[in-house]
Amino acid sequence: MVTIKDVAHDAGVSTATVSRVLNNDTKVSEEKRRAVNTSIARLKYRLYPAARNLKMGTSKTIGVIAPELSNYFFMFLCECVEKVLRQAGYSMILCCSNDSVAIEKKRLDYLAGQFVDGIIAIPVSPSYSHFKRVHKDIPLVLVDRNFSGLPTDCVLVDNSGGSRQAVCALIADGFKRIAFIGGHTDSMTSHERFDGYSQALHGAGFKVDDNLVVQTGMNLEGGYKAMDIMLARRTPPDAYFCVNLMVTLGAAKRVMEESEAVQKKIVFAAFDDVYYSSLISWCRYFVAQPMQDIGTKAAELMLERIRNPEREYREIRLPTTLIKR
């Protein structure tokens, strides 16, 4: 590999002069500048910004860990994060944990080995010992979920309020037996959305019926399984609240296998609203998250933390919007 010393020797100048040319120092004479540039071209010298940044104590990169790359919600967040980081002169390394704590640990170790300046993560479980270990040396911002036992910067939304609004809207439309499908008892997001569901029912004078609650996971397969269970009930629910986008898609996939007569009776309310939500004809209400704001705030919190490592940790909780289709 050609080094800066090789360029200096070929051009007949000092390494300091080569460095000044590379940094566009106007004090270098035109003659020496031409000599250095000629040697750079002849030797095919390449400048490695990453190596230079590490020498200065920074990599100018931020690691991002998402549970799923197939989930539009997570990918849109990552796009928003990348835009803010890029404008600030940072690059982004994107990793996927595949909804696995074991893989999440490996991704954290990988990013630490890349000397990233910070990590923005959407955790997959309440387990946080591996995050705590990394957080000692690397700034951490959590998105969508956080850990009560680990103080960090985080960006969340009003999960409880959003689901409560959606279920209240179904109740106002005359539905009484409303199912809660998808989710997981270990998921903070699922837990908060179930709280909102329960609050809406209790506020209307209804009790939570355990037979109408099926927590089969936060993914497409979980939504399909939950709807399959509900449709097999002797008395199916009047309406359904789906915990997130992927569960809604899985549930819709299962409904599509039914007869037109059954499909006409299906009514959903769902958390998450994306550009193709209107295609899910059974979904009457969507809880829209401010996706752009979530990604932007997460990146901004990271940049603030890098600039001021000693400031107090901040939790930002953003509002949701109920949309009727």
Spell out the per-residue pLDDT of the chain, length 325, in tens.
Answer: 778 888 888 989 888 888 788 877 788 888 888 898 898 888 888 766 555 555 555 779 999 999 988 888 899 999 999 999 999 999 999 999 998 999 999 999 999 888 899 999 999 988 889 999 889 889 999 999 898 889 999 999 999 999 999 999 999 999 999 999 998 878 899 999 999 999 999 999 999 999 999 999 888 999 999 999 999 998 999 999 999 999 999 999 999 999 999 999 999 999 988 888 778 888 999 999 999 999 999 999 999 999 999 999 999 999 999 999 8
Q: What is the pLDDT of residue 300?
A: 97
Q: What is the pLDDT of residue 183?
A: 86
Q: What is the pLDDT of residue 110?
A: 92
Q: At what angle do helices 15-22 and 30-43 cross, to 10 degrees?
A: 90
CB of 180 closer than 8 Å to CB of 191: no
Q: What is the pLDDT of residue 55?
A: 56
Q: Domains (ranges, CATH) in the chain?
A: 4-47 (1.10.260.40), 59-154+291-317 (3.40.50.2300), 159-288 (3.40.50.2300)
Query: Token match 């990988």: residue?
Result: 110
Q: What's the chain look like in SS3?
A: CCCHHHHHHHHCCCHHHHHHHHCCCCCCCHHHHHHHHHHHHHHCCCCCHHHHHHHCCCCCEEEEEECCCCCHHHHHHHHHHHHHHHHCCCEEEEEECCCCHHHHHHHHHHHHHCCCCEEEECCCCCCCHHHHHHHCCCCEEEECCCCCCCCCEEEEECHHHHHHHHHHHHHHCCCCCEEEECECCCCHHHHHHHHHHHHHHHHCCCCCCHHHEECCECCHHHHHHHHHHHHCCCCCCCEEEECCHHHHHHHHHHHCCCCHHHHCCCCEEEECCCCCHHHCCCEEEEEECCHHHHHHHHHHHHHHHHHCCCCCCCEEEECCEEEEC
* Polymer length of the chain: 325
- For residue 16, CA distances in Å to 12, 20, 22, 23 come to 12, 6, 10, 11
CB of 312 closer than 8 Å to CB of 95: no
Rounded Cα distance, 53 and 7, in Å:
20
